[in-house]
Structure 1
Amino acid sequence: MPHVTAPPQPRATFARRPQACADCGLFLHIPPLPRSAVARCPRCNAVLRRRRTDPHGRALAMAVTGLVLFALATQSPFMDLELGGREQATTLLTGPEVLTDSSLWLLGVVVLVTTLAAPLTKLAATTWVLVALRLPRPPRHLPMVFRLVERLAPWSMVEVFLLGVFVAYTKLIDIAHVHVGLAVYALGGLMLAMAAADAALDDEAVWNALERKGVTAAPMPAREGRGPRIACTCCGLVSRGVATCPRCGAALRARQPDSLARSWALLAAAAVLYVPANLLPVMTVVSFGHGEADTILSGVESLAAAGMWPLAALVFFASITVPVVKLIGLAVLLVSTGRGARGRLRERTTLFRIVDAVGRWSMIDVFMISILTALVRLGTIASVHPGPGVLAFCAVVVLTMLAANSFDPRLMWDAAGRR
């Protein structure tokens, strides 16, 4: 079948298109931006677009660098522990494997996905899209692949995992000899490369390039269709009279269906699990046959008792403060939206952004326990076993992230009559 190329879209066409703010739903036109400029929503102050200096080249270079560092991290020693004449070596896969062997296979899957699978897929997808855009005839599946990049972003937690590494190292360094392997340094470089790739990538420029290459169906201007204007929550294109986005293929809905009901259900489940997450032991340390169970709070207390106040404050903030803030913050947003509150819309939208951004950092404790469980396996001398509390706590983190993702902030503005 011959390759059909859509007519190139002139630059002026992109500039004339209406766009919509993803946070408040305001339709507006963004004028052509100079390089490095930022366009913000005049109603809720959300960032609508950042014009990058080199939207493709730098991001591609950083993504390729990230893939190289990822390969180095997975093929190199991670951390070694020496205590009482015995030594335990680990790789990045050891933690998920040990958790699976401990009957906590679900926790092992979460650690594997957030530390390895999601970052690798995100880097590979970004690299493939940016490389394929340079081909004379890019493949038709590029929009679907590029959609995956945004979907995976919240679940790629290399930087959070590195904080977990730091906490685990600090807890062990006083009682054993810990050797940091090349994989840890490669992960540090990977974190920087991924951050640089995200900072350099201009999503709108990529979508426009996909259109110019004829990879997507050339979308008609929103004013030419019939029916209400609907903004794609994935690529931002505004369309009328179509069920799927003509640019990225995502399903088009004016608002997320059953947003409040789903968010309430996920939030309620997280609130219920938050109790056992704090009461049940998250890990048990066995030394010479004597076991000592630790909860999240007792772990913070032990760090403080050892004089590690900054580390204790970090763990307390990530594992206790952040989940509480997310639970209360989401409840406030859901109640106020359900009651049609009209006040402080801009502040509530900012609260949503904060809640949506900080939730993933609570995974520090989960990653720390995964690392300790993998490292401290020295038989009768010392061993660390994960407890049921860590599974409940991980569920709280995941459920609150899903609850925030299910909440459509535009409903706040709709309820206040600002649609």
Structure 2
Amino acid sequence: MRNQPHPAERLRECPGCGLFQTVPALAPGMTAQCPRCSTSLERATRHPIGHSVALNLTALVLLVIMCSTTLMTVQKAGISLSARLFSGPAELVRRDMAELAVAVLFVTVVAPLFKLLGTLYVLLRLREAAPPRHLCRVFALVERLGPWSMIEVFVFGVFVAYVKLGDLVKITLDVGVYALLALTVVLIWADSALDREAVWDRLDRRGDARGRCAPPDRQAVEIAAVEIAGCEVCGLVSGVDGPMEAGARHRCPRCGSALHPRKPDSVARTWALVIAAAALYIPANYFPVLTVMQLGAGAPSTILGGVEELVASRMYPLAALVFFASVAVPMLKLVGLSVMLVSTQTGRTGWLRDRTRLYHVVRWIGRWSMIDIFMEALLGALVKFGSVVTIEPGIGAVAFCGVVILTMFAAETFDPRLMWDAAGRHAAAPAAA
């Protein structure tokens, strides 16, 4: 099943600035961008659907291998210890950090597994003459799981742990690590090869009289609807029978997701999440995230303390990576979201395109702060040599994981279109006066 050019034209709402515009036909390899804010609207890949099926199936096999084999083996003082993917979460549970263990398991196993299974299920059933209606909802769930599948972040966590262990123990990389590296490459390849709009289009074209995923006619949307809105999950622009007032419930006719012109209570909810993340950021940096005990000597180490130790050991690239992921990124998210919220509430008209780009950066970069969490979980599971050398995760890691999750939710809750709405109202106010 080779991808065909996207339909002649379709009505789209830019998720960055809210501009409604008609996207023309896209040949494979072409990308459509919003002319106002440069947000990517649609991308047509050159790969057939069967290519995506093969890549996702390969990724599923590699994920099973990674979960069932050993990642690393360490030796010290005649003692040998091995760690699997589940060893880190198990150690966290043993140290009364079950919340952190659940978070690590979800983003490294549960989310990637369900994303792969969901994608394969949808792509394989697309071959049917009349795919069932629930495929649309399954694919919508796959899209929502995307930001929470963090295999590529986990790779960097393993790399940091490997480098930090070099001076403490003798370390050997096992089959699981090589499966993890291959899985990361295949997942990135599969994500770039999948033409999401082509999948939605196949589901649409094969809808039947009972309404399987069938979108409303474009002219009917523009003429008969009281209001129109773009779905935040599948991108379909559709109309509703009545005004989209606060509390009114409308659903996307294609994927069933909640439909509203703007994310409800976006500013208030985002402020609440940002303030909560900022409050957790204090204990995350004050309390230790790791304690290294060697020959009975050692002391708890905070995030900044770990960076200083890497600098003292002249591991400058690794120190820069840890500082960027664990210190700079959380601060960028908190400051960036605060700037966008304040500018929205004050109706600032300047730097709109730059603020929209900042939003996309904040939304994409948030997950990379989990590098430190993955590294600490793996070190705690691997280095348990009694009085010789032991590494224990600290309570600061729980607070830091909370910061990462809350800021990711905050980025998802914030609606960048509100910045453009507020700027438009502010610019129109003097003219009206």
Give TM-score, length-normalised by structure 2.
0.92
SS at match of 2:12: strand
Q: Aligned residue for 1:231?
A: 230
Q: Aligned residue for 1:277?
A: 284
SS at match of 1:322: helix
- 1:379 and 1:13 map into 2 onto residues whose CA distance is 62
| Alpha-carbon offset, residue 138 of structure 1 | 2.1
1:315 pairs with 306, 315, 322, which one?
A: 322
Matched, 1:182 2:170: no
- 2:240 and 2:306 map into 1 onto residues whose CA distance is 56
- 1:224 and 1:190 map into 2 onto residues whose CA distance is 48
- 2:325 and 2:159 map into 1 onto residues whose CA distance is 14
| Alpha-carbon offset, residue 304 of structure 1 | 0.8
Q: Aligned residue for 1:409?
A: 416
The answer as to whether partners of 1:40 and 1:49 remain within 8 angstroms in 2 is: yes
2:186 pairs with 187, 193, 196, which one?
A: 193
1:374 pairs with 381, 398, 402, which one?
A: 381
SS at match of 2:261: coil
SS at match of 1:365: helix
- 1:22 and 1:270 map into 2 onto residues whose CA distance is 25
2:86 pairs with 73, 86, 93, which one?
A: 93
| Alpha-carbon offset, residue 219 of structure 1 | 2.4
**What are the equivalent positions in structure 2 for 1:309-388 lying under 5 Å apart?**
309-388=316-395
Question: What do residues 52-101 of structure 1 show as CA deviations (whole Å, max 9, x unaligned)?
Answer: 11251221111111001111111111111111111111110111111111
Q: Aligned residue for 1:126?
A: 119
The answer as to whether partners of 1:133 and 1:213 remain within 8 angstroms in 2 is: no
SS at match of 1:240: strand
2:153 pairs with 153, 160, 163, which one?
A: 160
- 2:394 and 2:49 map into 1 onto residues whose CA distance is 45
Amino acid across the alignment from 2:411: A
| Alpha-carbon offset, residue 388 of structure 1 | 1.1
Q: Aligned residue for 1:8?
A: none
- 1:257 and 1:218 map into 2 onto residues whose CA distance is 23
**What are the equivalent positions in structure 2 for 1:3-152 lying under 5 Å apart?**
14-152=7-145
- 1:389 and 1:21 map into 2 onto residues whose CA distance is 39
The answer as to whether partners of 1:288 and 1:381 remain within 8 angstroms in 2 is: yes
The answer as to whether partners of 2:266 and 2:415 remain within 8 angstroms in 1 is: yes
Question: What do residues 175-206 of structure 1 show as CA deviations (whole Å, max 9, x unaligned)?
Answer: 21111111111111111111111101111110
- 1:349 and 1:225 map into 2 onto residues whose CA distance is 32
- 1:83 and 1:225 map into 2 onto residues whose CA distance is 74
Question: What do residues 278-325 of structure 1 show as CA deviations (whole Å, max 9, x unaligned)?
Answer: 111001122333342110111011111111111111111111111111
Question: What do residues 325-351 of structure 1 show as CA deviations (whole Å, max 9, x unaligned)?
Answer: 111111000000011111111111011
**What are the equivalent positions in structure 2 for 1:191-270 lying under 5 Å apart?**
191-214=184-207, 215-221=212-218, 222-241=221-240, 243-270=250-277
Q: Aligned residue for 1:4?
A: none
- 1:43 and 1:310 map into 2 onto residues whose CA distance is 38
Q: Aligned residue for 2:245?
A: none
* Cα pair distance change 1:307/1:135, threshold 3 Å: same
- 1:178 and 1:229 map into 2 onto residues whose CA distance is 59
| Alpha-carbon offset, residue 379 of structure 1 | 2.4
Matched, 1:286 2:286: no
SS at match of 1:118: helix
- 2:153 and 2:5 map into 1 onto residues whose CA distance is 42
- 1:283 and 1:13 map into 2 onto residues whose CA distance is 51
Amino acid across the alignment from 1:76: T
Amino acid across the alignment from 2:341: L
- 1:101 and 1:140 map into 2 onto residues whose CA distance is 44
The answer as to whether partners of 1:38 and 1:49 remain within 8 angstroms in 2 is: yes
The answer as to whether partners of 1:15 and 1:29 remain within 8 angstroms in 2 is: no
Amino acid across the alignment from 1:272: A
- 1:114 and 1:39 map into 2 onto residues whose CA distance is 31
- 1:157 and 1:273 map into 2 onto residues whose CA distance is 22
Amino acid across the alignment from 1:63: N
Question: What do residues 254-277 of structure 1 show as CA deviations (whole Å, max 9, x unaligned)?
Answer: 100000001000000111111111
- 1:25 and 1:96 map into 2 onto residues whose CA distance is 42
Amino acid across the alignment from 2:239: R
- 2:5 and 2:275 map into 1 onto residues whose CA distance is 48
Q: Aligned residue for 1:5?
A: none
| Alpha-carbon offset, residue 238 of structure 1 | 0.8
- 1:181 and 1:144 map into 2 onto residues whose CA distance is 39
> Structure 1 residues 132-141 or 12-21, which shifts more?
12-21
SS at match of 2:27: coil
The answer as to whether partners of 2:6 and 2:198 remain within 8 angstroms in 1 is: no
| Alpha-carbon offset, residue 136 of structure 1 | 2.7
Amino acid across the alignment from 2:314: G
- 2:260 and 2:334 map into 1 onto residues whose CA distance is 27
Matched, 1:389 2:396: yes
Amino acid across the alignment from 1:148: L
The answer as to whether partners of 1:56 and 1:201 remain within 8 angstroms in 2 is: yes
Question: What do residues 21-69 of structure 1 show as CA deviations (whole Å, max 9, x unaligned)?
Answer: 1111110111111220111100000111111112512211111110011
Amino acid across the alignment from 1:219: P
- 1:287 and 1:313 map into 2 onto residues whose CA distance is 25
The answer as to whether partners of 2:9 and 2:25 remain within 8 angstroms in 1 is: no
